[in-house]
Chain A
Amino acid sequence: MSDFLYILENEVQIVAISFLAIVYVIRVIWLFRFRSQRERTFPAGSERSGILYSMMNIAMPWAMESTRKKPGFYVQFVVFHLGVAAAITATFIIPYWPQLFESRAYVVLFQIVVGAAFFVGVMRLYRRITNPAVRLISTADDYFSLILMTIYFAVAVWAIPNTYEKNEWPLILFFALTAIFLVYVPFSKIGHYLYYPFTRFFIGRTMGHRGVGQTKIRKTAGEGR
């Protein structure tokens, strides 16, 4: 392995991930600088169960009409995010646990997951361009983030076998993209996973307190007909 690739796989990634963490902390502090509202009313439900329900909502495709009616879209969502998780995991496996990718089974498994995510990325890009409503709301950041992720998946499929002795380029590209990705994330829509706990917490707390939907504390004998 060349020194360049070694530094790219290790020091550069550590710097990039540290940058990401610092910017995230600043971002969270920024969010906390906005005042929070609290409920001054007697509750009709449980805030805790509301928050829990809201956080878990993403794993319950039947809970929302938008995912229930579009199971294919939900499957795409799952595959895409599994692909993200697999690709990021690979960035740790390659430098710190390379033995794992000596197993052909693991390599193929990761390649299948990330490869599927690549196809979803292409589908999502096609949808973003061809669906008038989605196109109208799409920003340059939305396109760039999606293209970046889709290319990242393609490169990850190529890099996962970790055959630097034959050709270092897939790994150089993969880790260079990872570093760019880590630095860009907090300024882009890709950082939405940082906000997910906040938006879900707030909506869940409000709905839980007010007993909306599944979160209600049953106080009376009458539950439906």
Chain B
Amino acid sequence: MSKNSRRIKIDIEDVLNLPLETRSQEEAKEKKLLSVTEGQLKVYDANINNVDRFLELLSERVTRQLASSMVGCVHCGMCAESCHYVLARPDDPTMTPAYKADQIRKIFKRHMDWTGRIFPRWVHADTPKNDEDLNRLKNIVFGTCSACRRCTMNCPMGVDTALLIRLARGILTELGIVPEGVFNVSRDTWETGNQMGVSEEDYLETLDWMKEELQEELSDPDIDIPVDKEGCDFMYTINPREIKFDPRSIADAAKIFHFAGESWTMPSWGWDQTNFGLFSGDDRLGGFVAKNLYEAAVNLYAKRIIISECGHGYRSTRWEGYNWAEYNQNIPNESVILTLMRYIQEGRIKVDLSKNQEPVTFHDSCNVARSGDLVDEPRWILGRTCSDFREMSPNRTENFCCTGGSGLLSMAEYKPLRMEVAEIKAKQLKDTGAKLVCTICHNCVDGLTDVIKHYELDMKVVQIIELVANALVIDP
């Protein structure tokens, strides 16, 4: 930590003036990708009036919830100290959540609110003048906020700043004024149905590979990772990261389901429970991904959908996706955390906490704790699978973001700032004295791993499924 406290702070103007990179967008146009030609994936066009289009989209997209958050801010500044960007950069007032929200609020005031229309200077109402202004807005809403909703929870007025940030992101995405990483992930999602561009062949091969590993490990040729099996108790959906970088988590889940005697399947299409639409603010993309998954479950006659450990995936699949897809929920849908909890409660699996002896702490994912409903459940499981559990402080709905939330992991240009403000998270982790930090979010796994590496902490990130699989008591 001392090494980093000596570090020179990043000049925020360098971040806010980062140019718009369009190389990937040009390539997508040249290749005539279907998503581009069919107008699903928007690319930047310098020849159109982007400011007018921005204003048009703003007036179309402001809902009553957003409008009340636009007009409700009293500029009291209470949000400031809830934000890890502010806490790590106390001398930089531009990090204040209300200031960031004001960058979209001022446009709303200038064009849609009465006082701002008549006396714009009186209330800081303003309008973007050109694409450079929109690019600066891009750098603020994508680069200086992880949309963790901590400021929302601490606003006396109940202003949802994270929602305003997402609104601005969504409009900029429609104009192609986005960080290159956001464009790339959106492109992969539109083109392949999953955010990491995993092909169906790779997906099925990885599942086969994991199945074989499990059969060998447990000397049981009957153990299976079923695909497209109809009429099961649940359809299990995962994060593409599990296929690409962490297939062991699929094997761990399959092992637990096997010992619980579960009837389950994975779909060959619609298996990605993550949803970049949440981060980019693109409801169309969000609806596309979510609908794929919901329809896969219906087509397989699954009785419920189970979501593997992922914070934004859980929020998107459990909550937001239905709204984006305008799809009324018709099948129960839960996090695998609840499934594991049920297995332990019902005695379907036995666990021995002495098998996980290293001190472990728990990191609440923003999307699960502040925009979802799971805070006690993971702790309940940890209490039965780990012998030395330590709370971090603050925790639950007050926990700090892993710093990689809201898609920031895919935006390399903002990483130096992200690592600087991760000082808050690093201190929080270090103070626990734990050797393992457990989280139920794949995004947080990568975010926390970056923090641990950057701040040289002696810790490792784990997930619940790994700890449960490790604590399993397998009768001979």
Complex: A196 Cα to B68 Cα, angstroms = 8
- Check B65 against A212 for contact (C-beta < 8 Å): no
Output the residue of A41, A199, A224 with the most chain B CB within 10 A.
A199
Provide the residues of chain B in CB contact with A73, threshold 8 Å.
Answer: 78
Provide the residues of chain B in CB contact with A222, threshold 8 Å.
Answer: 341, 345, 376-377, 380-381
Provide the residues of chain B in CB contact with A221, threshold 8 Å.
Answer: 345
Among residues 149 to 203 in chain A, which have CB atoms less than 8 Å away from a CB atom of chain B?
A: 187-189, 192, 195-196, 198-200, 202-203
User: Chain A contact residues (Cβ within 8 angstroms of B): what range?
Assistant: 35 or more
Q: B41-49, B69-77, B187-195, B440-448: which one contacts chain A?
A: B69-77
Among residues 181 to 229 in chain B, which have CB atoms less than 8 Å away from a CB atom of chain A?
A: none
Chain A nearest CB, measured from B139 CB (Å): 17
Provide the residues of chain B in CB contact with A144, threshold 8 Å.
Answer: 122
Interface residues of chain A: helix, strand, loop or mixed (majority): helix
With contact pairs A202-B65, A225-B389 given, residues A40 and B327 touching in the complex (Cβ less than 8 Å): yes
Chain A nearest CB, measured from B222 CB (Å): 31
Q: B11-19, B366-374, B419-427, B452-460: which one contacts chain A?
A: B366-374
Among residues 134 to 167 in chain B, which have CB atoms less than 8 Å away from a CB atom of chain A?
A: 152-160
- Check A57 against B158 for contact (C-beta < 8 Å): yes
Q: B24-32, B245-253, B263-271, B318-326: which one contacts chain A?
A: B318-326
- Check A225 against B158 for contact (C-beta < 8 Å): no
Nearest-neighbor residue (CB-CB) of B105 within chain A: A137
- Check A66 against B156 for contact (C-beta < 8 Å): yes
> Is B67 engaged at the interface, CB distance under 8 Å to the other chain?
yes
Complex: A136 Cα to B79 Cα, angstroms = 14
- Check A225 against B156 for contact (C-beta < 8 Å): no
Among residues 36 to 52 in chain A, which have CB atoms less than 8 Å away from a CB atom of chain B?
A: 36-42, 44-45
Among residues 264 to 280 in chain B, which have CB atoms less than 8 Å away from a CB atom of chain A?
A: none
> Is B332 engaged at the interface, CB distance under 8 Å to the other chain?
yes
Complex: A225 Cα to B389 Cα, angstroms = 10
> Is A134 engaged at the interface, CB distance under 8 Å to the other chain?
yes
Q: B2-10, B95-103, B401-409, B430-438: which one contacts chain A?
A: B95-103
Q: A9-17, A27-35, A96-104, A106-114: which one contacts chain B?
A: A27-35
- Check A225 against B380 for contact (C-beta < 8 Å): yes
> Of B69, B99, B156, B319, which is within 8 A of A64 by CB?
B156
Provide the residues of chain A in CB contact with B299, threshold 8 Å.
Answer: none
Nearest-neighbor residue (CB-CB) of A32 within chain B: B64
Interface residues of chain B: helix, strand, loop or mixed (majority): helix
Output the residue of A31, A40, A45 with the most chain B CB within 10 A.
A40
- Check B158 against A204 for contact (C-beta < 8 Å): yes
Chain B nearest CB, measured from A26 CB (Å): 9
> Is A1 engaged at the interface, CB distance under 8 Å to the other chain?
no
> Is A140 engaged at the interface, CB distance under 8 Å to the other chain?
yes
- Check A36 against B63 for contact (C-beta < 8 Å): yes
> Is A54 engaged at the interface, CB distance under 8 Å to the other chain?
yes
> Is B82 engaged at the interface, CB distance under 8 Å to the other chain?
yes
- Check A136 against B96 for contact (C-beta < 8 Å): yes
With contact pairs A140-B123, A198-B68 given, residues A65 and B63 touching in the complex (Cβ less than 8 Å): no
- Check B160 against A139 for contact (C-beta < 8 Å): no
> Of B373, B383, B394, which is within 8 A of A225 by CB?
B383
- Check A223 against B93 for contact (C-beta < 8 Å): no
Nearest-neighbor residue (CB-CB) of B391 within chain A: A225
> Of B63, B93, B338, which is within 8 A of A133 by CB?
B93
Complex: A107 Cα to B275 Cα, angstroms = 62
> Is B342 engaged at the interface, CB distance under 8 Å to the other chain?
yes
- Check B77 against A202 for contact (C-beta < 8 Å): no
- Check B75 against A142 for contact (C-beta < 8 Å): yes
Provide the residues of chain B in CB contact with A135, threshold 8 Å.
Answer: 93
> Is B329 engaged at the interface, CB distance under 8 Å to the other chain?
yes
Complex: A140 Cα to B160 Cα, angstroms = 23
> Is B392 engaged at the interface, CB distance under 8 Å to the other chain?
no
With contact pairs A133-B86, A216-B373 given, residues A139 and B124 touching in the complex (Cβ less than 8 Å): yes
Output the residue of B79, B96, B341 with the most chain A CB within 10 A.
B96
28 pairs, A vs B, C-beta closer than 8 Å: A31-B67, A31-B71, A34-B63, A34-B64, A36-B63, A36-B65, A41-B329, A42-B332, A66-B81, A73-B78, A133-B86, A133-B95, A136-B93, A136-B94, A137-B77, A139-B122, A140-B122, A141-B123, A187-B114, A187-B115, A199-B68, A199-B159, A200-B158, A202-B160, A210-B319, A213-B396, A222-B341, A222-B345
Name B residues whose Cβ lies closer than 8 Å to a Cβ of A.
62-69, 71-72, 74-82, 86, 91, 93-96, 98-99, 102, 114-115, 121-124, 152-160, 318-319, 322-323, 326-329, 332-333, 338, 341-342, 345, 369-373, 375-377, 379-383, 389, 394, 396-398
Given A41-B322, A65-B153, 14 more pairs with CB closer than 8 A: A35-B63, A37-B65, A77-B156, A135-B93, A137-B75, A188-B115, A192-B74, A196-B72, A204-B158, A216-B373, A220-B342, A222-B376, A224-B383, A225-B380
